[in-house]
């Protein structure tokens, strides 16, 4: 059994949302057969129509990620027993599908074994192109962790989009997303931005605003942030190799000399690169 609260309300996991406000759907039709699921460490809106999550939300902190680094990965993919049988994805659905079982809330963000186990629920998993999952998306996840360590906390909503008239299915049951997105909001800088990538092997990643994501997906991922933050896409790097120190991290350390005293900037980047290398030995 998952350690999360019973489906039907985000009351028990509202801390995962900025200003305790969950994403809002501009197109209510997208909520057909949807269920709210609280997990240990993240919140998920699940669709019984696609048999995938629509998004998973996390509140990442520097301390949480340092704890997560101490936990070895243990794959434990499992169906979500809180869902009605007709809505559940099953392990057999992914067998020989040609797609990876891609996490929305990543295993590497999880600070304890309970959170890690919950992250492997199929309610947090989507069919993801193998190259996208193992390369482009791994880089994006690593940069998001780097941003969290740099600024202290980041709110994240990772989700999927089903665009176009023709949607691919696996096992005639699970819909394959056409696109993936990861939206981040940094309270320290009051900036937000979105990674938006086709779910294929093209390695294409766009950086767009929260408002632009709403136009493309019908989802307002951060309803409580300012209109200015929604309208402007903050500069986001595609990979850790592109990260440079823009000065705000050093300014933060001057204001708080104890902050990351033993973890200089080069160390944070190195740790995320090592995580990326290690994770690529594992197939989802």
Q: Is 4 inside a domain boundary?
A: no
Q: Is 226 inside a domain boundary?
A: yes
Q: Is 98 inside a domain boundary?
A: yes
Question: Is the CB of residue 170 less than 8 Å from the CB of residue 99?
Answer: yes
Q: What pLDDT does residue 227 have?
A: 98
Going through the chain in order, the beta strands assigned E by DSSP cover 24-25, 34-39, 42-47, 52-61, 100-103, 125-128, 153-161, 169-170, 174-175, 179-186, 191-198, 206-208, 219-220
The label of the residue with tokens 């093209």 reads 202
Q: What pLDDT does residue 54 have?
A: 96
Q: Is 2 inside a domain boundary?
A: no
Q: What pLDDT does residue 52 have?
A: 97
Q: Which domain holds residue 148?
A: 11-279
Based on the residue annotation, tell me whether 151 is a catalytic residue of this protein. no
The answer to whether 133 is annotated as binding is yes
Number of domains into which the chain is organized: 1
Q: Is 126 inside a domain boundary?
A: yes
Catalytic, out of 59, 103, 179, 275: 103
What CATH number is given to the structural domain containing 41? 3.40.570.10
H-run or E-run covering 92: helix 91-94
Mean pLDDT, 10 residues at a time, the chain of 284 residues: 47 96 85 93 96 97 97 93 96 97 98 97 98 96 97 98 92 97 98 98 97 96 98 94 53 41 58 66 52
Q: Is 33 inside a domain boundary?
A: yes
pTM for the whole thing?
Answer: 0.84
């Amino acid at each position: 059994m998952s350690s999360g609260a019973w489906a039907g309300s985000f009351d028990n996991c509202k801390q995962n949302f900025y200003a305790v406000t969950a994403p809002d759907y501009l197109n209510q039709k997208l909520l057909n057969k949807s269920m709210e699921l609280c997990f240990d460490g993240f919140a998920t809106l699940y669709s019984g129509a696609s048999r995938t999550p629509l998004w998973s939300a996390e509140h990442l902190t520097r301390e949480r990620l340092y704890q997560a680094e101490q936990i070895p990965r243990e794959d434990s993919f499992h169906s979500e027993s809180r869902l009605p049988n007709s809505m559940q994805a099953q392990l057999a659905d992914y067998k020989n599908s040609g797609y990876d079982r891609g996490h929305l809330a990543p295993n590497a963000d999880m600070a304890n074994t309970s959170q890690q186990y919950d992250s492997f629920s199929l309610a947090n998993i989507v069919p993801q192109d193998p190259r996208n999952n193992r390369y482009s998306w791994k880089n994006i996840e690593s940069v998001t962790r780097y941003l969290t360590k740099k600024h202290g906390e980041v709110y994240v909503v990772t989700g999927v989009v089903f665009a176009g008239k023709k949607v691919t299915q696996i096992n005639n049951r699970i819909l394959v997303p056409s696109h993936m997105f990861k939206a981040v909001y940094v309270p320290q800088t009051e900036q937000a931005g979105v990674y938006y990538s086709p779910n294929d092997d093209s390695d294409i990643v766009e950086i767009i605003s929260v408002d632009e994501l709403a136009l493309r997906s019908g989802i307002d991922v951060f309803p409580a942030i300012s209109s200015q933050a929604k309208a402007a896409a903050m500069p986001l790097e595609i990979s850790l190799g592109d990260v440079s120190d823009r000065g705000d991290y050093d300014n933060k350390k001057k204001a708080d000399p104890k902050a990351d005293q033993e973890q200089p900037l080069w160390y944070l980047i190195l740790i995320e690169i090592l995580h990326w290398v290690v994770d690529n030995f594992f197939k989802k």
